[in-house]
Protein backbone atom coordinates (compact mmCIF):
# COMPACT_ATOMS: atom_id res chain seq x y z
CA UNK A 1 0.00 0.00 0.00
CA UNK A 2 1.42 3.41 -0.88
CA UNK A 3 2.39 5.43 2.19
CA UNK A 4 0.07 8.30 1.32
CA UNK A 5 -2.91 5.92 1.16
CA UNK A 6 -1.97 4.49 4.55
CA UNK A 7 -1.06 7.60 6.49
CA UNK A 8 -3.35 10.39 5.36
CA UNK A 9 -6.66 8.57 5.95
CA UNK A 10 -5.34 7.14 9.22
CA UNK A 11 -4.24 10.50 10.56
CA UNK A 12 -7.42 12.25 9.44
CA UNK A 13 -9.71 9.56 10.89
CA UNK A 14 -8.01 9.66 14.26
CA UNK A 15 -7.72 13.45 14.43
CA UNK A 16 -11.47 13.58 13.81
CA UNK A 17 -11.84 11.00 16.58
CA UNK A 18 -9.97 13.34 18.93
CA UNK A 19 -12.31 16.19 17.99
CA UNK A 20 -15.29 13.92 18.66
CA UNK A 21 -13.92 12.88 22.04
CA UNK A 22 -13.50 16.54 22.99
CA UNK A 23 -17.07 17.21 21.84
CA UNK A 24 -18.35 14.50 24.18
CA UNK A 25 -16.27 15.78 27.08
CA UNK A 26 -17.55 19.31 26.52
CA UNK A 27 -21.16 18.14 26.47
CA UNK A 28 -20.77 15.93 29.54
CA UNK A 29 -18.78 18.23 31.81
CA UNK A 30 -19.06 21.77 30.45
CA UNK A 31 -18.21 23.26 33.83
CA UNK A 32 -14.86 21.46 34.11
CA UNK A 33 -13.82 20.75 30.54
CA UNK A 34 -10.92 23.23 30.75
CA UNK A 35 -9.68 21.44 33.90
CA UNK A 36 -9.47 18.20 31.92
CA UNK A 37 -6.56 19.66 29.93
CA UNK A 38 -4.34 19.27 33.01
CA UNK A 39 -5.47 15.70 33.73
CA UNK A 40 -2.93 12.90 33.34
CA UNK A 41 -2.80 9.17 33.94
CA UNK A 42 0.36 9.21 36.04
CA UNK A 43 2.48 11.97 37.58
CA UNK A 44 5.34 11.39 35.14
CA UNK A 45 3.14 11.45 32.01
CA UNK A 46 2.17 14.44 29.93
CA UNK A 47 -1.35 15.85 30.51
CA UNK A 48 -4.27 15.78 28.11
CA UNK A 49 -3.30 19.16 26.61
CA UNK A 50 0.10 17.72 25.64
CA UNK A 51 -1.31 14.49 24.26
CA UNK A 52 -3.66 16.39 21.95
CA UNK A 53 -0.87 18.61 20.66
CA UNK A 54 1.57 15.74 20.20
CA UNK A 55 -1.00 13.88 18.09
CA UNK A 56 -1.55 16.95 15.91
CA UNK A 57 2.21 17.45 15.65
CA UNK A 58 3.05 13.87 14.76
CA UNK A 59 0.41 13.62 12.05
CA UNK A 60 2.17 16.49 10.30
CA UNK A 61 5.77 15.73 11.27
CA UNK A 62 5.76 12.40 9.46
CA UNK A 63 4.79 14.06 6.19
CA UNK A 64 7.83 16.33 6.30
CA UNK A 65 10.21 13.52 7.18
CA UNK A 66 8.87 11.31 4.39
CA UNK A 67 9.50 14.09 1.88
CA UNK A 68 13.02 14.71 3.20
CA UNK A 69 12.05 18.18 4.40
CA UNK A 70 12.93 19.98 7.62
CA UNK A 71 10.24 20.50 10.22
CA UNK A 72 9.07 24.10 9.79
CA UNK A 73 9.35 26.43 12.81
CA UNK A 74 5.56 26.74 13.03
CA UNK A 75 5.25 22.98 13.50
CA UNK A 76 8.20 22.81 15.88
CA UNK A 77 6.28 25.37 17.96
CA UNK A 78 3.41 22.86 18.30
CA UNK A 79 5.84 20.27 19.71
CA UNK A 80 7.19 22.88 22.12
CA UNK A 81 3.63 23.72 23.20
CA UNK A 82 3.04 20.03 23.84
CA UNK A 83 6.17 19.69 25.95
CA UNK A 84 5.16 22.76 28.00
CA UNK A 85 1.43 22.08 28.30
CA UNK A 86 1.88 20.75 31.83
CA UNK A 87 2.65 24.31 32.93
CA UNK A 88 0.68 26.14 30.23
CA UNK A 89 -2.21 23.89 29.16
CA UNK A 90 -3.92 26.52 27.05
CA UNK A 91 -7.62 26.22 26.38
CA UNK A 92 -9.89 23.70 24.76
CA UNK A 93 -10.17 26.13 21.85
CA UNK A 94 -6.36 26.04 21.51
CA UNK A 95 -6.36 22.24 21.41
CA UNK A 96 -9.16 22.18 18.86
CA UNK A 97 -7.28 24.71 16.74
CA UNK A 98 -4.23 22.44 16.62
CA UNK A 99 -6.38 19.51 15.51
CA UNK A 100 -8.09 21.66 12.87
CA UNK A 101 -4.75 22.99 11.62
CA UNK A 102 -3.44 19.44 11.25
CA UNK A 103 -6.55 18.34 9.37
CA UNK A 104 -6.37 21.34 7.02
CA UNK A 105 -2.71 20.68 6.36
CA UNK A 106 -3.31 16.99 5.61
CA UNK A 107 -6.29 17.79 3.38
CA UNK A 108 -4.08 20.04 1.25
CA UNK A 109 -1.48 17.36 0.48
CA UNK A 110 -1.31 15.79 -2.98
CA UNK A 111 -2.63 12.21 -3.37
CA UNK A 112 0.87 10.70 -3.77
CA UNK A 113 2.86 13.17 -1.72
CA UNK A 114 4.45 10.60 0.64
CA UNK A 115 4.91 7.63 -1.66
CA UNK A 116 8.51 8.38 -2.67
CA UNK A 117 9.49 8.42 1.00
CA UNK A 118 9.29 4.64 1.41
CA UNK A 119 13.01 4.08 0.80
CA UNK A 120 14.18 7.47 2.05
CA UNK A 121 16.85 7.33 4.78
CA UNK A 122 15.42 8.90 7.92
CA UNK A 123 17.45 9.78 10.99
CA UNK A 124 15.40 10.30 14.15
CA UNK A 125 17.35 12.42 16.63
CA UNK A 126 15.80 12.27 20.08
CA UNK A 127 16.65 14.04 23.32
CA UNK A 128 19.60 12.61 25.20
CA UNK A 129 21.65 12.01 22.06
CA UNK A 130 19.67 8.98 20.87
CA UNK A 131 19.49 8.58 17.08
CA UNK A 132 17.54 5.99 15.13
CA UNK A 133 18.40 5.35 11.46
CA UNK A 134 15.70 3.74 9.33
CA UNK A 135 14.01 3.80 5.95
CA UNK A 136 10.76 5.65 5.38
CA UNK A 137 8.84 2.38 5.49
CA UNK A 138 10.45 1.44 8.82
CA UNK A 139 9.82 4.95 10.14
CA UNK A 140 6.10 4.69 9.33
CA UNK A 141 5.69 1.16 10.68
CA UNK A 142 7.90 1.34 13.76
CA UNK A 143 7.77 5.00 14.81
CA UNK A 144 5.25 7.31 13.15
CA UNK A 145 2.11 5.22 13.54
CA UNK A 146 2.90 3.77 16.99
CA UNK A 147 3.79 7.21 18.38
CA UNK A 148 0.69 8.81 16.90
CA UNK A 149 -1.62 6.08 18.21
CA UNK A 150 0.05 6.23 21.64
CA UNK A 151 -1.03 9.86 22.01
CA UNK A 152 -4.51 9.26 20.60
CA UNK A 153 -5.22 6.34 22.92
CA UNK A 154 -3.75 8.26 25.86
CA UNK A 155 -6.27 11.05 25.20
CA UNK A 156 -9.03 8.41 25.23
CA UNK A 157 -7.67 6.87 28.45
CA UNK A 158 -7.35 10.22 30.23
CA UNK A 159 -10.92 11.14 29.34
CA UNK A 160 -12.22 7.74 30.49
CA UNK A 161 -10.19 8.08 33.68
CA UNK A 162 -11.81 11.48 34.26
CA UNK A 163 -15.30 9.97 34.01
CA UNK A 164 -16.16 10.91 30.45
CA UNK A 165 -18.60 8.34 29.09
CA UNK A 166 -16.96 7.17 25.88
CA UNK A 167 -16.54 3.72 24.41
CA UNK A 168 -15.04 1.82 21.51
CA UNK A 169 -17.51 3.31 19.03
CA UNK A 170 -16.23 6.77 19.99
CA UNK A 171 -12.67 5.65 19.29
CA UNK A 172 -13.38 4.25 15.83
CA UNK A 173 -16.39 6.19 14.52
CA UNK A 174 -14.97 6.03 10.99
CA UNK A 175 -15.76 2.31 10.96
CA UNK A 176 -19.48 3.03 10.67
CA UNK A 177 -18.87 3.91 7.01
CA UNK A 178 -18.30 0.16 6.50
CA UNK A 179 -21.28 -1.04 8.53
CA UNK A 180 -23.32 -3.67 6.72
CA UNK A 181 -26.95 -2.55 6.66
CA UNK A 182 -29.04 -4.37 9.19
CA UNK A 183 -26.07 -5.74 11.15
CA UNK A 184 -26.17 -3.26 14.04
CA UNK A 185 -27.84 -4.91 17.06
CA UNK A 186 -30.90 -3.11 18.44
CA UNK A 187 -30.15 -0.67 21.28
pLDDT given for residue 1 in this prediction: 87
- pLDDT tens for each residue of 38-49: 999 999 999 999
How far apart are alpha carbons 187 and 60 in whole angstroms? 38
- Classify 3-174 by CATH class: mainly alpha
Residue 97: predicted pLDDT: 96
Please give the distance of CA 141 from its chain centroid, rounded to a whole number: 15
Half-sphere exposure of 38 (CA within 13 A, CB side): 7
Q: What is the pLDDT of residue 185?
A: 84
pLDDT at 141 over 80: yes
187, pLDDT greater than 80: no
Round to the nearest angstrom and report the end-to-end CA distance of the chain.
37
Query: Whole-prediction pTM value?
Result: 0.95
Cα separation of 187 and 184, whole Å?
A: 9
Q: How far apart are CA 178 and CA 121, in angstroms?
A: 36
DSSP annotation of 159 reads H
**pLDDT over 90, % of the chain:** 92
Distance, in Å, from the CA atom of 174 to the CA atom of 58, rounded to the nearest integer, reads 20
Q: Which of 31-35, 49-53, 181-185 has the highest mean pLDDT?
A: 49-53
Closest CA to 23 of 150, 134, 159: 159
| Predicted confidence (pLDDT) at residue 128 exceeds the cutoff of 80 | yes
DSSP 164-179: ----HHHH-GGGGGGP
Alpha carbon 139 to chain centroid distance?
Answer: 16
Amino acid sequence: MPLTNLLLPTYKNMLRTLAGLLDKAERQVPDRVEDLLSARLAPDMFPLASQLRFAAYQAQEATFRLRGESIPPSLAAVAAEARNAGEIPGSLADARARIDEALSYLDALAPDTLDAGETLAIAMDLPGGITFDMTGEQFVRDWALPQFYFHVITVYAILRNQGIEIGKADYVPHMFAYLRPGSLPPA
